[in-house]
Structure 1
Amino acid sequence: MSTHMSTTEIFLLAMLLIFVVPFAVWRLFKTDYFAPLVIVQIIMGIILGPGVVGAAFPEYHKFLFNPDVVKTLNGVAQWGVMLFVMLAGVELDLKKVWQYRRESATTAGLSLCMPLIFGCGAALLLMNYQGWIGAKAANWQFMLGVGMACAVTALPVLVLLLEKLDILRQPMGQRIMRYASLDDVAIWGVLAVIMLDFERMGRQVGFLVAFAVLTPLFRRMMTRLQQNDRWYIAIFWLLACAFGADWAGLHFMVGAFLAGVVMDVEWFGQEHLDALFKNVLLVLMPVFFLSTGLRTKWDLGGYSVFFVAGLLLAASIGGKLAGAHIAGKVLKWKDGEASIIGWLLQSKGLIEIIFANILLDKQIITSETFTALLLMAVGSTMLTIPVVHPKLNRAQNRGLVGQASS
């Protein structure tokens, strides 16, 4: 391959690969039922990363995904996911969040705590064997880190799955978004505790206070603007919130979601929001899914890693289902609701991989543990649609979906 190609030309080749390969696999192998296009994009990102294709063809990989190209891809990916998560926040009805605050807090708390407990139990078991706990980790950091990795819900992937199941705007989908968004904020806060970053925890409190103070001013201004101007101000608000959240250690995606949550659909029009959602999904999100996979570095670590991945997957799914069923008993949900909600909330996607990458960088986990967590995230996401789809059909036939929980 010619080494005289410009960075722009190599970038365009990488983009071509990013868009063509997952689409071809998805179409040719007709994977839509068990692996929608988004899941194929996640898996192909991991395969195209340094752990698989990079190991098999190191020179070609180094040429195509050189540091300049990867930086450009990461910039496109971050902007795309910010827009996408903001739109997911706009779809969430704050009035319903407040109306069902007891239900939301109860379910979000249980769906976070139960898999956390199950995951900590799995981590405690792993600590009896060499090769799983990182060189710089205290026992409690390893336990809490692995436990939280089992408790993560992938917000961007969840939005896509709800859209795929056609329940994103139904009461069931809105409920699940409420639970996942509350957990998402908590997860990044706990990460600061794991890192022993007390300065960052202070920043997080400061960001949330500033956000609470500025939101009423932002909303008052938006109601006085014309619709065309609102789009520009919304972008300014998105960037400011994403920057503030990332500076505070809550991750820019949390800021982007919060930026969207305090916006009203009526400010922009549902038709225009739908068009933007579809365009972001088509044009930008594939770059996010693929570029995140390209950053994953892992070694297979022998057959034991598959056993550990299965253990962590069982902890994650079992914990989410246990939390959802306990919430269902407490809140008197209808039959079948808890199972659907639990299975959707256990979907991991790339957020868990990002979380695990941070733990690996800080040497809280080893590359073998990271590999197990990565395999768990892929398995968790791939199981979601095949398990939920028939459950959802049965629930719709009984008239459960489309009703709000009190």
Structure 2
Amino acid sequence: MQHAITTTELFLIAMAVIFAVPYLVWRLLRTDYWAPLVVVQIIAGILLGPGVLGRAMPELHATVFNPDVITALNGLAWWAVMLFVMIAGIELDVRQAWANRRETGVTAGLALGVPLLAGAAVALGMLGFVGWIGTGGRPWQFVVGVGMACAVTALPILILLMEKLQLLRSHLGQRILRYASLDDIAIWGVLALVLMDWERIGRQVAFLLAFALACVAFRRLMRAIPARDRWFTMLIWLAVCGLGADWAGLHYMVGAFLAGVVMDGEWFERETLDLLRHHVLLVMMPVFFLSTGLRTSWEVGGAAVFVAAGALLVASVAGKLAGVHLAGRLLRWPPGEASMIGWLLQTKALIMIIFANILVDKAIITSATFTALLLMAVASTMLTIPMVAPKLRSLGTVASGAADPAGRVRQP
């Protein structure tokens, strides 16, 4: 008797593929220095998505990654990244952020503004050719949207790379986290302007006001309840903040980060919090990295796409480095520090892909522009570790065991 495969079985097949394929590529090819596991997972998701596997083997892709399976994977992915980003928010020392608000504001503003202008300049050049702007986009929306895509910093990827380099809890890591966090919030606000959704902007203001009031009650509650109850309360708070931010159009990841920011690290046992982060990273985050790629449909579109991707990469990296170097000069940072911070902040990958997916869904950009942005995001992320590891070693700020004498990041 022939067995009809069930959705549960297809889901488990997809999970096996999600964990096996990128891990085997990463481990057997030893890609860790130029392509950490997170980058391999994102690339694997893109290759397993409708743009590659879906075209090469449409029946297989449609069977394994059917709508029911994708829906289940998306639910796991959303919760995974919310947990991970919330923990990063807890790691951020808000008192230090406020005490250093001038430095944070200047650096975050220049780190966002300069690459935005550089990317916008490339976008203006692209408007002179057919095939880049979408049917539903106005020229200013296209220019600002592409410019912002060049300015994005992928907060989840940045956190992973800083943890890998043993920077996350250092003074330097906390500074970088402050800069990236402020920019991450600004990105979704700019997206609301690009999409001309004035109702969404009103909802964002309402959410932020309600969030500020709720924080007062939440912090009093967390101080009053036993330590064991704080973990459950934390998860409820996370879900509510993610819901509110997504309703407001700020994106659920911004809500997750804000949920963590208002919590004090001393409310929780440090070792338990570390274990939670590592377990989320091992067990759930691969689903998020690959599921993003699985929703990504793209076309190569000829040599022009690669030329555009190269121009956008130069604008993105050079703009970010120039902005951070300018901040370093204004704030009188030690030599070499601005370069390292700039390379870390130019990490894009995941958030840029999500950002560009929204632009292509709204017909502001075409699939060719999306592909150019996708190639730029992957390339910029792959550059990060090779550029940062030697700088950390030369500055003497990398912790013991983060890099070997040759500058290679050690694999776990």
Range class of TM-score, shorter chain? over 0.9
| Residue matched to 1:107 | 107
- The one-letter amino acid of 1:11's match is F
Q: How does 1:123-202 map to 2 (within 5 A)?
A: 123-202=123-202
Q: How does 1:314-353 map to 2 (within 5 A)?
A: 314-353=314-353
| 1:10-51 alpha-carbon deviations (Å, 9 max, x no partner) | 000000000000000001000011111111101101111111
**Aligned mates of 1:329, 1:133 — CA distance in 2:** 37
**Aligned mates of 2:74, 2:397 — CA distance in 1:** 43
Q: Count the aligned residue pairs.
A: 398
**Aligned mates of 2:167, 2:25 — CA distance in 1:** 26
Q: How does 1:4-403 map to 2 (within 5 A)?
A: 4-396=4-396
8 Å Cα contact 2:26-2:36 kept in structure 1: yes
Post-superposition offset of 1:316: 0.5
- State the identity as a percent: 63
Query: Partner of 2:396: helix, strand, or coil?
Result: helix
**Aligned mates of 1:125, 1:22 — CA distance in 2:** 37
Query: Partner of 1:222: helix, strand, or coil?
Result: helix
**Aligned mates of 1:192, 1:311 — CA distance in 2:** 26
8 Å Cα contact 2:165-2:398 kept in structure 1: no
Structure 2 gaps, min length 5: 400-412
8 Å Cα contact 2:204-2:249 kept in structure 1: yes
- The one-letter amino acid of 1:367's match is S
**Aligned mates of 1:397, 1:388 — CA distance in 2:** 11
Post-superposition offset of 1:276: 0.1
Post-superposition offset of 1:214: 1.3
Q: State the TM-score, normalizing by the size of structure 2.
A: 0.95
Post-superposition offset of 1:269: 1.3
**Aligned mates of 1:118, 1:342 — CA distance in 2:** 15
4+ runs deviating over 4 angstroms: none
Q: State the TM-score, normalizing by the size of structure 1.
A: 0.97
* Gap change, CA 1:121 and 1:219, over 3 Å in 2: same
Post-superposition offset of 1:213: 1.4
Post-superposition offset of 1:398: 11
| 1:249-291 alpha-carbon deviations (Å, 9 max, x no partner) | 0000000000001111111111010000000000000000000
8 Å Cα contact 2:343-2:388 kept in structure 1: yes
**Aligned mates of 1:180, 1:79 — CA distance in 2:** 21
- The one-letter amino acid of 1:366's match is T
**Aligned mates of 2:397, 2:60 — CA distance in 1:** 52
- The one-letter amino acid of 1:303's match is A
**Aligned mates of 1:206, 1:21 — CA distance in 2:** 44
**Aligned mates of 1:160, 1:210 — CA distance in 2:** 31
* Gap change, CA 1:152 and 1:397, over 3 Å in 2: closer
**Aligned mates of 1:300, 1:13 — CA distance in 2:** 29
When the two chains are superposed, the root-mean-square deviation of aligned CA atoms in Å is 1.1
- The one-letter amino acid of 1:178's match is R
- The one-letter amino acid of 2:366's match is T
8 Å Cα contact 2:89-2:257 kept in structure 1: yes
Post-superposition offset of 1:216: 1.7
